[in-house]
A and B are shown apart, each in its own frame.
Chain A
Amino acid sequence: MLHPLEETSILSACELAKQVHLNGEALTILKSASLTLTDGESVAIVGASGSGKSTLLSLLAGLDRPSGGEVWLLGEPLSTLSEDARARLRRDRVGFVFQNFQLMPQLTALENVMLPLELSGHPKPEAAARAMLERVGLGQRLRHYPKHLSGGEQQRVALARAFVIRPRLLFADEPTGNLDAATGRQIIDLLFQLNAEEGTALVLVTHDTELAGRCDAIYRLVDGRLVGARP
């Protein structure tokens, strides 16, 4: 499948391939994966464990380099950019939510949320971060360190950190993977609520088909290829 680069697309991948070398043996994780995402759109990527979903996400977000193919992120072809240039591209435009939260343990909830604002030179990082934490219902826990927060609370801080910069695009890798069903549902509701309010495009990697069903499109990763399309 080949998706032409559309005018409105903010993310587009074309025949992505990824091979890694392990102990001298080449291991092919992705063969040919293509997809396109327009502004404000949400897509889900599903697939069996070990099928390469996280790998694909890392390529789409420019965290890693593909062995073949090309990714256009926010209009830029990533293959032409250095790791640092890709980092600058992500800054204040791309948000992340991970299965294991990835909060900075040495920073309080508030400081974690302030971090991306500070990086992008926001004039009033504290006020904005405070407001965002209140939006996710953690207005009372500003000064708490991650280790004193429950899994669900940590993930809400992560969501706040991701949305506080009003990103054009959000990558989420199994955001509910470490949470119980009820907490997971709360997080997902929050995710889609913010997604809708902020008009953020969303790439969601998940096992959960019900969750995937709430997205505008579902892709399935099978044997290194992306199949399926927008309904």
Chain B
Amino acid sequence: MSAWHRLMWSLRMARRELVAGELTVLALALFVAVTAMTSVAFFSDRIERALTRQATQLLAADLVLNADAPWPEAFRAGAVARGLELAESASFPSMVMAGDAATLATLKAVSERYPLRGALTVQAGGAEKSAGAPAPGTAWLDARLMAKLGVKQGDAVEVGQRRLTVAGQIVREPDATLDLYSFVPRLLLNHADLASTGLVQEGSRIRWRLMVAGEAAAVADYRREASARLPRGARVENVEEARPEVRTALERARRFLGLTAMLTVALSAAAVALAVRRYLARHWQSVAVLRCLGLTSREVGALFTGLFALLALAAGALGTVAGFGAQALLLTLAAGWLGADALPAPGPLPWAMGPLSALLLLGGLALPPLSTVRRIPAVAVLRVELPARRVGWLTPLAAVFVLLTLTAYLVGETVAALWILAALAGFLAAVGLVALAAVLLLRRLPLAGRVGWRYGVANLARRPALAMIQVVALSVGLMALLTLTVVRADLIGAWRASVPADAPNKFVINIQPEQRDTVADLFALDGRRAPELAPMVRARLVAINGRPVRPAAYRDERARRLAEREFNLSWRDSLPEGNRVTAGRFWAGQGAKPQFSVEEGLAGTLGIRMGDTLSFDIAGSVYKARVTSLREVPWDSFRVNFFVLAPPDWFSRQPASYITSFRLPADEEAFASRMVERLPNLTVIDVGVILDEVRGVVERLAQAVEAMFVLALAAGVLVLWAALTATRDERLFDVALLRALGASRRQLKSVLLAELACLGGLAGLLAGLGAMALGSVAALQLFKLPFFANPWLPLLGLALGTVVVALAGWPLLRKVARTAPMTVLRRE
């Protein structure tokens, strides 16, 4: 046959096989795998873009350079030369006065083009509008400042030596969080007015920011160039730190998606493997016939390779299209936040990935057994004569591994991939061993009881390998179902609860030690439960293991900044709620000796390890102790948390102030005012807006993730289906034999039921245990969520397994009852 002829024939055969339903499970499994992979690929591509966009909004530019002195002209020229948009701001704390009233505020002078990204919303003349810099001689004030000064639009305020007219109220300022004390009242003025305030003097604490925006490549180029020539005290503003809470939510969402995609791919791979096994097993005889009719072994190989390649390409193409559709759906669910409208279309990579991954999957899983099929001799038509079936494990494993890694890469989660891989491999190995042991045990057991039960169990024990494949495949499918329903609900529940409904929305700082009782009384008077007050002292990290800490020595920008900064140290006698010790032990109770507990992330950034000795300078005295534990801190809980903790009664003589957080419903704002009235030195910070935003993000992403789970669920069902059909033929043959040997239909039915129930129960029990383990690993390792294993899982698994397998076996039972033994022996 010519190559063309052969290709056309392969195509025809593929069509016939499809029509006959031989390829249904295989095609579906491939389709689901590709859909899962590509939809996640498309989706995370877009999430990434949205993330970057959101970040630029928080900066009000694509890139922000920050310095403690005015920027040299060369930096402006560099941006202009690259065709980038340029804006500038200068912000600093200063007193603002209006009549007799005076208060501290953060002033920010912005140039004409500000903001380059995102929108500044102001309320002027009773209407909200988006605005740029205020006109020279005017200022935008935020609501807090207007209230404190008792001014309204049109009034005048004094800033240094300059009088400015209040032109409106700031509603939303995109880059407000960049300023350390963003909770201090704010005032925006025109950059041109800055000099006339007389506030720009030697020693004034002004942050000078250069903001640029434009084409991504040009921005990156400028960033490289500028980073290399940054003056002392200057830095590139880091967006990742702007909103750690949002970041946490996004990262979790990504992990959920990654986990789901990888689970889907792994499950689909299992379904594909089972389907291939069944497909080829059903075609042994056909191959022998083809050989008889004169097909050479190369032609047999070419036929099936071509058929599989066509199938992979078709399923891959369809799956990719479906993946794009699924992604569009996910996007709609997450839309409000992602702003799907303005997002550029996903790149070309995911489009190519779909068909390629289908080829890889099917190639890896089907080629090894195919090489055995090629060796089926023609004489097999006369006598069941099978070539030695030593199917290699390496190729399929490698293919699945590559695919999972690819998925992980797409989602940006290689660590998660390793965990999933390890968990799955562990589960497979454990289930395989247990199944084998159980089957071997059954074989030894002197079986009593009814005929059906006895033969059913004996049937299972007779072919340990087959029984093992069945149990493993069934439990993988059942585990997937359990994980995706029960465990998923638990996990997503825990995720949603990580930003609890009663999360604090107010922080109170600067409480003096002697004011603690008053604060408690204020809460009590108002009928509220007094929140815990945490002590806080300012400290500077001076040495690690006796070696002085020099900020400049850190290569990492973030580390340099952290090392420069003063830390808030706190002391307490027990582990703060929600914190988790990841290394060492947290001290318990009063009287613990001096030691430190450090937040894990900070330790990583600054290179602090367990057992290191840290020296902190607090108001001139040095406090030195070893690090005895590392902690993971749930920043998104919005509770008061500290990077570094120590036991009480050590530096507690040092001047401390107290900080606390609590939840205040929107209509009870008066309480906060009363508190500040009573204790004017207190500062109440409102984090409600951030809290709402984080909760909104979590909510929308959770929906998107749930939608993604549906896909994985489909893959799980497929595996179950494949597992049940894969061995159906063998079972049918067994049954026919028994029938031929004179077993009554009733006896046969009970044999089959016993076998199926046994199989399903065992698989279900293992699946329940597996799902429990997987859920715990996922919760603790991947999502850093507190997780309580659902104790009902094993029982649920047992029941589910028995019922599902028995139900799935029902048509088989009916078929057995209907067909004559000979037909079965001959045909199926």
Contacts and interface: CB of A to CB of B under 8 A. Distances in A.
Interface of A: 54, 57-58, 61-64, 83-84, 86-92, 94, 96, 98, 100-108, 111, 115-116, 118-121, 145-147, 173, 178
A129 to B, nearest CB: 13
7 contacts: A83-B378, A87-B294, A92-B294, A103-B289, A105-B20, A115-B290, A178-B826
B692 interface: no
A102 B12 contact: no
A146 B282 CA distance: 14
Contact of B381 (A91, A102, A111): A102
Given A63-B381, A87-B294, 7 more contacts: A58-B382, A86-B378, A87-B296, A96-B381, A103-B289, A119-B9, A119-B295
B16 interface: yes
Contact of A57 (B293, B294, B382): B382
A151 to B, nearest CB: 8
Nearest to B381: A102
B186 interface: no
Contact of A116 (B20, B293, B298): B293
Interface string B370-395: 00000001110111000000000000
Given A63-B382, A118-B9, A105 B286 contact: yes
A63 B377 contact: yes
Contacts of A64: 377-379
A204 to B, nearest CB: 15
A103 B381 CA distance: 11
A98 B381 contact: yes
Interface string B1-33: 110010001001000110010100000000000
Contacts of B17: 106
B88 to A, nearest CB: 73
Contacts of A83: 296-297, 377-378
A57 B378 CA distance: 12
A82 to B, nearest CB: 9
B292 to A, nearest CB: 6
B293 A111 contact: no
A206 B639 CA distance: 90
Contact of B286 (A84, A101, A106, A145): A106
B285 interface: yes
Interface in B272-292: 282-283, 285-286, 288-292
A64 B1 CA distance: 24
A199 to B, nearest CB: 20
B1 A121 contact: yes
Contact of B20 (A103, A106, A115, A120): A106
Given A100-B826, A105-B827, A63 B292 contact: yes
B294 A90 contact: yes
B16 A111 contact: yes
B383 A115 contact: no
Contacts of B20: 105-107, 145
Contact of B293 (A86, A90, A173): A90
A212 B260 CA distance: 67
A177 B229 CA distance: 93
A205 to B, nearest CB: 10
A146 B292 contact: no
Given A58-B379, A111-B16, A119 B294 contact: yes
Contacts of B382: 54, 57-58, 63, 98, 173
Contacts of B822: 178
A87 B295 contact: yes
B280 to A, nearest CB: 13
Given A84-B296, A98-B382, A106-B20, A119 B289 contact: no
Contacts of B16: 106-108, 111
A207 to B, nearest CB: 16
Contacts of A57: 382
B291 A87 contact: yes
Closest A-B pairs by Cβ, 9 of them: A91-B294, A84-B296, A106-B20, A63-B378, A64-B379, A63-B379, A90-B294, A104-B286, A106-B22
Nearest to B383: A54
Nearest to A93: B294
Contacts of A61: 292
B289 A87 contact: no
A88 B292 contact: no
Nearest to A95: B293
Contacts of A146: 827
A83 B376 CA distance: 11
B386 to A, nearest CB: 14
A229 B180 CA distance: 109
A159 to B, nearest CB: 14
A118 B293 CA distance: 11
Contact of A88 (B286, B294, B377, B379): B294
Contacts of B296: 83-84, 87-88
Contacts of B290: 115, 119
B16, B20, B298, B379 — most chain A CB neighbours (10 Å): B379
Nearest to B20: A106
A103 B17 CA distance: 14
A112 to B, nearest CB: 9
Contacts of A145: 20
Contact of A147 (B9, B298, B381, B827): B827
Contacts of A147: 827
B292 A84 contact: no
Contacts of B379: 58, 63-64
Contacts of A107: 16, 20
A227 to B, nearest CB: 23
Contacts of B282: 105-106
B379 to A, nearest CB: 4
A199 B301 CA distance: 34
